[in-house]
Amino acid sequence: MTGNGIPHSVLFCCDHNAIRSPMAEGMMKKYYGRRAYVQSAGVHNDLEIDGFAIAVSEEIGVELSNHRSRSFEEMQDWGDDLGGFDLVIALSPASQRQALELTRLYHLDVEYWPIMDPTGMGETRDAKLEMYRQTRDQIRKRMIERFGPPTEGQGRV
């Protein structure tokens, strides 16, 4: 199933904007460059960007260490209106519910990608990194299926 082009603006969301949605935002920017305005948000903003997410993203050339987590509410406070996005991609059930609730007044698409939450999985550092890599690779696979092959700065795909 190949994607139907790249929308002008995409919002990725998950529970805390600390692992899945920042990874997706970083990959989208790396793979498709400036073809789309890309942001991410979480249902809650109670966690900083996750160190394992930073590590496994760096492996594919995606820089996340400067990411600042934010909630839907903060996003709107900062002037990023949900109605301004062409597509919202939810990476967790809670974020899908929130996105559907917040966008019911707008005419925009909300897609749900069931991406594994690696939090708390794996006993050792290596085992944890492996779980985060699986999450990263799930996002990358869905992204390429949806939007087509990367067009800029692909790195290893």
Domain locations in the chain?
9-146
The pTM assigned to this predicted structure is: 0.89
pLDDT-flagged residues of the chain (< 50): 1-3, 154-157
Rounded to the nearest angstrom, the gap between the alpha carbon of residue 130 and the centroid of all alpha carbons in its chain is 19
CB neighbour burial string for 124-151, b if at least 16 within 10 angstroms, e if fewer = eeeebbebbbebbebbbebbbebbeebe
The answer regarding whether domain 9-146 maps to CATH 3.30.450.20 reads no
Rounded-to-integer distance, Cα 74 and Cα 87, Å: 19
Provide the pLDDT for residue 2. Answer: 37
Give the pLDDT of residue 79: 73
**Where does residue 44 rank: exposed (0-12), middle (13-18), buried (19+ CB within 10 A)?**
middle
